Amino acid sequence: MRVLLDTNVLSELEFLKWLMTAEGMEKLMSTITVMEFAYHLFKKGKGQGRLKAFMELYSIATSPYTEEAAIKAALSAAGRWDFKSRARDYAIGATALTLGAILITQNLRDFDWMPKGTVRDTQGFKQSYGK
């Protein structure tokens, strides 16, 4: 199973520890999430090494934001009039859809445009994974 982690999930250490033990799980962050997480680390004075160490500790790989995902994000946002304020959310969600991954976030409302079953919060994902 492939999962894409939203930025807000990266502070959920209990969930990340559980995720480390889940078998058959490909854990990914989009390059958009890497940017957001790096920003939060850097503004706290923490260096790039901290980001790499975090990703290695939790075995999280990076998935690029592709042209296919960009088009999917734009199509998903068209007619909603919230692209300016939610462009990163559209990019992250579209990356998950392009990868065929479940998006895990604590902000379900930000991804209400995604098809049912493609986005879960940490608690709902743990329950649906059956562990």
pTM: 0.93
Per-position pLDDT tens, the chain of length 131 = 999 999 999 999 999 999 988 889 999 999 999 999 999 999 999 988 999 999 999 999 999 999 999 999 999 999 888 888 999 999 999 999 999 999 999 999 999 999 999 999 999 999 988 65
- The total number of structural domains that make up the chain: 1
Domain that holds residue 106: 2-127
CA distance 9 to 4: 10
Q: Rounded to the nearest 5 degrees, what angle is found at the Cα of 56, between the Cα atoms of 55 and 59? A: 80
**β-strand pairing of 2-5 with 119-120:** unpaired
Q: Which domain CATH number covers 29?
A: 3.40.50.1010
Token readout for 94 is 């579209």
